[in-house]
Chain A
Amino acid sequence: MKVIVFVKATADSEAAVPPTAELLTAMGNYNEELVKAGIMLGGEGLKPSSFAKRVHFDGPNRTVIDGPFTETKELVAGFWIWEVRNMEEAVEWVKRCPNPMFTASDIDIRPMYGMEDYKEWDKEGGWLEQEVKLREQIEAKNA
């Protein structure tokens, strides 16, 4: 299964306070462990939300809002994509991560939907069939 792992923002990350050499080394080593274990599919660090744009949807309206955004704790400062056997493995890997921030911080693990989920919801295959047909119809319309 694939998971996306979000390193949540802090006041420091939002202020673009650079990491110490020590933290960079620790993170480098950790990343190497992820690669060695064969679970790392990708990952990036994100610039503070002062660089960000947000597009707000309301019915037919689209409003563009410039960063920075105020709800620091809800923002993402970086992410990885991992392929792991299950959530337990993902949790164990995250526990081994050095604290990526100078202050208390959070890392969220969000599993991606995979084929196994469709099968789980849809033991008879009918729902998936319907979904596939629906997508085909949409694609035919768009074509």
Chain B
Amino acid sequence: MTTAIARTIDAIWKMEAARIIGGLARRVRDVGLAEDLAQDALIAALEQWPAKGIPPNPGAWLAMTARNKAIDRLRRDANLRRKLDELGHELEDSAMPAEIAEGIQDDVLRLIFTACHPLLPHEAQIALTLRIVCGLTTEEIARAQLVPEPTVQQRIVRAKKKLADAGIGFNDIAPEDFDARLGAVLQVIYLIYNEGYSASSGSSYLRLSLCEEALRLARMLVHMAKEEAEIHALLALMELQSSRARARTDATGTPIPLPEQNRNHWDRLQIARGLKSLETSRNLGGPPGVYYLQAAIAACHARAVTPDATDWPQISALYSLLFELTQSPVVRLNHAVAVGMAYGPSSGLQLLAPLQTEAALRDYHPLWAARGELLYRAERHAEARAAFETAAGMTRNAPEKTALLARAAACGQ
């Protein structure tokens, strides 16, 4: 019985944490302090609810308890009171244009922006977001990120301190910073997603929960900042990638390349949601951003009922635009592969050639695997075999190595 109620309290906490911490942070102008106070309220709930029962409005109970804790703390702590007074005056002076101020009025939105503050390193942004926005325990974060719990605790403590030391209050997003700050938020959400997505094999199904948290964050954000095209695009990208989750590994957890995936296992409802978000993003206008382009590429795959039906000319055009924005050599590699699919292997090989001497792609086995595929399709089998063998020599992942060597052997002598 105790565990049942503990699970219920945990669920309620995760539902309410962002709103409670956000509301408190608005009052005390300090996210770290707000989180401490909210934790006190959670502890009070864990002490009182098992005996007294869960109150009819548990969210309000938690918020009220946390606020009372805050008032107690303010009464006891004169320094804190003075600090808040100072901050309060500063805040009144820094006027924000109504449009932006309205957009980030919402405590939860501001909380996300603060947790993803560019001042913090990525791992701290991730830990803090999962902690204060998603309400995860440090133990849950540690398990999902495959790091020891003290590491997570330390990241959070340091992050809070850094924010406090830098005098990062709670509503200090200047309109001229808005785009950059939003960019940081989107990046953190996508990093959380990728931590989950890149590790869906073997015993790491736990980590898939990170994908769900990222999707949830993006869905929340979409609702809070409806006019931001890149938020819709990021949501589209993650929905489209997740739609393939069931098809992307075999029973042993070995990844299955996209063309070989069983498309009947793709989640059609999720694809529909992804395509809809992409359309919303497109209709909002503006130049396509990095998430939009990646989502549009994912959409080309999602729309293809069979691999042969893939619109490769469209994909290569999108990769070309994406390269202009990112200047990433990996994007260039993907562009070359797409061109090879769209216009024949020799066109692809031509684009690939200069990448073979690119320093950033040294020891990058997908380059050599891609070259192997293109050479094979160009019927240059001996060279293809050599390229696959080079790729196999570069990867440390055993199943991947086996697959590449098999591919080399299939090229014949």
Q: Interface on A for B, CB 8 Å cutoff?
A: 35-42, 81, 83, 85-86, 88-89, 91-93, 115-116, 119, 125-126, 128-129, 131-132, 135-136, 139
Contact = CB atoms under 8 A, between A and B. Distances in A.
B380 interface: no
Contact of A36 (B58, B205, B217, B223): B223
A88 B135 CA distance: 15
B15 A89 contact: yes
A40 B223 CA distance: 11
B246 interface: yes
Contact of B11 (A89, A116, A128): A89
Contact of A115 (B58, B223, B246): B246
A138 B246 CA distance: 18
Contact of B252 (A36, A37, A41, A125): A125
Nearest to A90: B11
A88 B216 contact: no
A38 B251 contact: no
B268 to A, nearest CB: 13
B208 interface: yes
B273 interface: yes
A83 B215 contact: yes
22 contacts: A35-B219, A36-B223, A37-B15, A38-B217, A38-B223, A42-B269, A83-B216, A85-B209, A88-B7, A88-B8, A88-B10, A89-B11, A89-B14, A92-B11, A92-B12, A115-B208, A116-B205, A129-B250, A132-B251, A136-B262, A139-B262, A139-B264
A125 B220 CA distance: 35
Contacts of A135: 262
Contacts of B262: 135-136, 139
Contacts of B311: none
Q: Which are the 6 A-B pairs with shortest beta-carbon distances?
A: A129-B251, A38-B219, A88-B11, A38-B216, A38-B220, A89-B11
Contacts, number: 69
Contacts of B223: 35-36, 38
A132 to B, nearest CB: 5
Given A35-B223, A116-B205, A125 B212 contact: no
B219 A132 contact: no
Q: B-side binding surface: helix, strand, loop or mixed?
A: helix
A128 B251 contact: yes
B320 to A, nearest CB: 34
Main secondary structure of the interface of A (DSSP, over half): helix
Interface of B: 7-8, 10-12, 14-15, 58, 200, 205, 208-209, 212, 215-220, 223-224, 245-246, 250-253, 262, 264, 269, 273
Contacts of B246: 115
Nearest to B264: A139
A39 B218 CA distance: 11
Nearest to A89: B11
A85 B215 contact: no
B220 A83 contact: no
A116 B252 contact: no
Contacts of B8: 88, 91-92
A125 B203 CA distance: 10
Contacts of A93: 15
Given A38-B219, A125-B251, 15 more contacts: A37-B15, A37-B220, A38-B216, A42-B269, A81-B269, A83-B212, A86-B7, A91-B8, A92-B11, A93-B15, A115-B200, A116-B205, A125-B252, A129-B251, A139-B264
Contacts of A126: 251
B143 to A, nearest CB: 14
A85 B14 contact: yes
A52 B273 CA distance: 27
B41 to A, nearest CB: 17
B280 to A, nearest CB: 14
A85 B273 CA distance: 20
Contacts of A129: 250-252
B267 to A, nearest CB: 10
A40 B235 CA distance: 14
Contact of B216 (A39, A116, A139): A39
